[in-house]
Amino acid sequence: MSSMDDQFLVRFWGVRGSIACPGAETVRYGGNTSCIEMRVAGQLLVFDGGTGLRVLGQTLLKEMPLDAHMFFTHSHWDHIQGFPFFVPAFIKGNKFKIYGAIAPNGSTIEQRLNDQMLHPNFPVPLQIMGAEMHFCDLEVGEIVKLGDITIENALLNHPGEAVGYRVSWNNHAVAYITDTEHFPDRLDENVLWLCRNADVLIYDATYTDEEYYSEKSSKVGWGHSTWQEAVKVAKAANVGKLVIFHHDPLHNDDFMDKVQDDTRKQFANSLVAYEGLEINVLNESKARAIAPESVSQVSV
């Protein structure tokens, strides 16, 4: 295989949640919202279209014509607002296959991306985009096969619903699990299934436990999790590397430094996602010795 066909890379273009927060205090980790690029076996996969998608689009202009697959977890603004500014979508000759689950109100991903570009919200409609776009409505639990690549999804615990993804190829796997809230009395079986024995787990840790359970300003029911819960999931599912993701816009660089230090004390092979981070999945070593009870936990 060529070097491109033998790659499994993950690149981070937007790592924030809720709203973009550029500024002097977010320089090192970045202020753009959720967008991840994966290069797998010669295929270009994009997960979510937050404001980080605009930056990714600029870098892709040198690779045209493009033939890519885009997967949306859900359509809250911080995951779709970069789409109207994704320049490659306006250029003829590019092709995009766009996947998303149908929302609880019955709307498709095409309808939701279209609606955010209608007056009075945006000056030009989606139909002006010149690229060839094919929209695919995903069923929860549906498996997408792209050659030897397998993309699985499962429902997450988030207001208005969201899905997480697992990308598998050549006995390696990356789990992208963002916008999910942990349960108070158990680990989420859907989350454990998606990240079972994964080389890399990208997990929504918007809050700390202190913030989440705060008596003054509780975040219970807001649809997000904590780095402490991320560690529990990573250990239970025998994950190789844990990546903390979807940072609260109020968390500045110094705050994220502390989150990284605290997380590493409990799970050594972990880091806080930052814009520009690249992970070579094939180089990630993973401990295979797991206790029998851990196996039973993730065999759901």
User: CB of 165 within 8 A of CB of 71?
Assistant: yes
What contacts 185, CB < 8 A, 6 or more positions away?
Answer: none
Domains of the chain: 8-286 (3.60.15.10)
Q: Identify the CA nearest to 40 among candidates 84, 16, 7, 63.
A: 7
User: CB of 75 within 8 A of CB of 103?
Assistant: yes
Residues 182, 235: Cα–Cα separation, whole Å: 15
* pLDDT tens-place string over residues 39-83: 999 999 999 999 999 999 999 999 999 999 999 999 999 999 999
| Cα atoms in the Cβ-side hemisphere of radius 13 Å centred on 261 | 6
* pLDDT tens-place string over residues 241-252: 999 999 999 999
Residues 136, 150: Cα–Cα separation, whole Å: 16
Q: What pLDDT does 79 receive?
A: 98
Residues 284, 31: Cα–Cα separation, whole Å: 27
Q: What pLDDT does 3 receive?
A: 66
Sign for the CA dihedral angle at 205, 209, 210, 214 comes to positive
User: CB of 72 within 8 A of CB of 99?
Assistant: yes
Q: pLDDT averaged over consecutive 10-residue blocks of the chain (300 residues)?
A: 79 98 98 98 98 98 98 98 98 98 96 97 96 98 98 98 98 97 97 98 98 97 98 98 98 98 98 98 60 37
